[in-house]
Amino acid sequence: MTLPNTPAILVTGGAGFIGSHTVVSLIEAGFRPVIVDDFSNSSPNVIQRLEQITGKAIAYYTLDCLDLQGLKTVFAQETISGVIHFAAHKAVGESVQQPLKYYRNNLDSLLNVLSLMQEYQVQDLVFSSSATVYGQPDNLPVDEQAPLKPAESPYGFTKQVGEQILRDACKVSALRSVLLRYFNPIGAHPSGLIGELPLGPPNNLVPYIIQTAAGLRERLTVFGNDYATPDGTCIRDYIHVVDLAQAHVQALKHLQKQTEASYCEAFNIGTGKGNSVLEVIQTFIQETNQGLPYTIGPRRAGDVTAVYASVQKAEKQLDWHAERSLAQALVDAWRWQCSLK
Ligand code: WQD
């Protein structure tokens, strides 16, 4: 139960895919989330869905984080004790075509949030980073000590720069930050009320699978089967979005326990297990009994062969681990897709 004057957790991008699931987890853990979202890549009906799932009224502001004055009114009106910053553009291919849009949006939004946190003396920030910062790691599973590789896209570079901005800012201010490096988030809330809503043809594997099974796409193309992996297709660490959401709650609790002002640490958030594209396809067919037309196509530019997480640091320090299986994530994603019909 949340008390009426419980300090708020500001969730930028809180109506988006990972943000909305995190809002549910925050409420379940007794926090009071306040959403800031411009609904540029999400639907306003997510707010009602969140209220339906949680049975709580959800506070939200329709606002672009680039609007510094607008964001300032939120900090002035709410007593904010921490921030989870999701708001960002995230389409890798689009970022190659429109790099300035990505640099301006993703970096200025973060800078606006940080300047207001400083002004209103808010210490704790959880930042959405990505496993993309590792590129193709030299060793697997990849741990947080692994060197960051040159970014393959402006999107990926905004995550590397975002991390560096936070490391620099934490050194010289009261700011404390956890950088969560997400592996491949998939799935949906088991209620089928919230999930991922890609605009146009999906770029990511699981949204493409479920739209193909639903008849919205003719066939899935597997991007290459000549990689140096057991079945020739790329390997990723697919994590259920509800597990990922819970990692944010644990990160926030972890920050609140810190005594040093300059704390800044990165954590891998994955399952620790790699699955190939063909394994994902087979698991989907087996679990849902749906037909899934697919064909093998050429490699996609920029894809790494294999990446999966070492999750020991998150297990030990955040007291968190993924509990849900690939099969469960695919069934939940399929339930969500069916609810859209
Ligand atoms: C997974 C695998 C594809 C689509 C990307 C971003 C990353 C993060 C998550 C966040 C790969 C293959 C895919 C298809 C396929 N972004 N595939 N056919 O590339 O690991 O990570 O999303 O916001 O930064 O780079 O995820 O789901 O696109 O691909 O064969 O139609 O599925 O080649 O091996 P990726 P993905």
The reported pLDDT for the residue numbered 64 is 98
The reported pLDDT for the residue numbered 199 is 84
- As to burial, measured by CB atoms within 10 angstroms (0-12 exposed, 13-18 middle, 19+ buried), residue 169 is buried
Q: What is the Å distance from ligand 1's center to 204 Cα? A: 5
Q: Does the residue 26 lie in any domain?
A: yes
**Any atom of ligand 1 within 6 Å of the Cβ of 109:** no
The reported pLDDT for the residue numbered 1 is 54
Question: Ligand 1, from 142, 204, 284: best to mutate by most atoms within 8 Å of Cβ?
Answer: 204
Between CA 192 and CA 206 the distance in angstroms is 16
> Which of 300, 258, 303, 277 shows the shortest CA–CA distance to 124?
258
The reported pLDDT for the residue numbered 260 is 84
Beta bridge partners of 10: 34, 83
Q: What is the Å distance from ligand 1's center to 94 Cα? A: 14
Q: What is the Å distance from ligand 1's center to 275 Cα? A: 12
Q: Does the residue 2 lie in any domain?
A: no
C-beta contacts of 288-291 below 8 A and 24+ residues apart: 288/213, 288/330, 288/331, 288/334, 290/213, 290/334, 291/213
Q: Does the residue 156 lie in any domain?
A: yes
Residues 108-154 have pLDDT tens digits of 999 999 999 999 999 999 999 999 999 999 999 999 999 999 999 99
The reported pLDDT for the residue numbered 242 is 99
**Any atom of ligand 1 within 6 Å of the Cβ of 277:** yes
> Which of 282, 294, 296, 291 shows the shortest CA–CA distance to 326?
282
- Residue pair 62/279 in contact (Cβ under 8 Å)? The answer is no
Q: Residue 52's domain spans which residues?
A: 8-186+239-270
- Residue pair 175/117 in contact (Cβ under 8 Å)? The answer is yes
Question: Ligand 1, from 227, 278, 300: best to mutate by most atoms within 8 Å of Cβ?
Answer: 300
The reported pLDDT for the residue numbered 341 is 75
The reported pLDDT for the residue numbered 291 is 95
Residue nearest to atom 32 of ligand 1 (CA): 205
Question: Ligand 1, from 223, 278, 283: best to mutate by most atoms within 8 Å of Cβ?
Answer: 223
Q: Does the residue 175 lie in any domain?
A: yes
User: E-assigned strands of 124-219?
Assistant: 124-130, 176-182, 184-186
**Any atom of ligand 1 within 6 Å of the Cβ of 234:** yes
The reported pLDDT for the residue numbered 70 is 98
* CATH number, domain containing residue 30: 3.40.50.720
pTM for the whole thing? 0.98
**Any atom of ligand 1 within 6 Å of the Cβ of 95:** no
Residue nearest to atom 34 of ligand 1 (CA): 234
The reported pLDDT for the residue numbered 198 is 85
- Name the pairing type of β-strands 184-186 and 238-240: parallel
Q: Does the residue 179 lie in any domain?
A: yes
* Buried-state track 187-222, b at ≥16 Cβ within 10 A, e below 16: bbbeebbbbbbeeeebeebbbbbbbbbeeebeebeb
The reported pLDDT for the residue numbered 82 is 98
Counting the structural domains of the chain, the total is 1
The reported pLDDT for the residue numbered 2 is 55
Q: Does the residue 279 lie in any domain?
A: no
Q: Does the residue 150 lie in any domain?
A: yes
Between CA 89 and CA 244 the distance in angstroms is 19
Q: Does the residue 305 lie in any domain?
A: no
Question: Residues in the chain with pLDDT < 50?
Answer: none
Q: Is 284 left (phi over 0), alpha (psi -120 to 50) or beta?
A: alpha
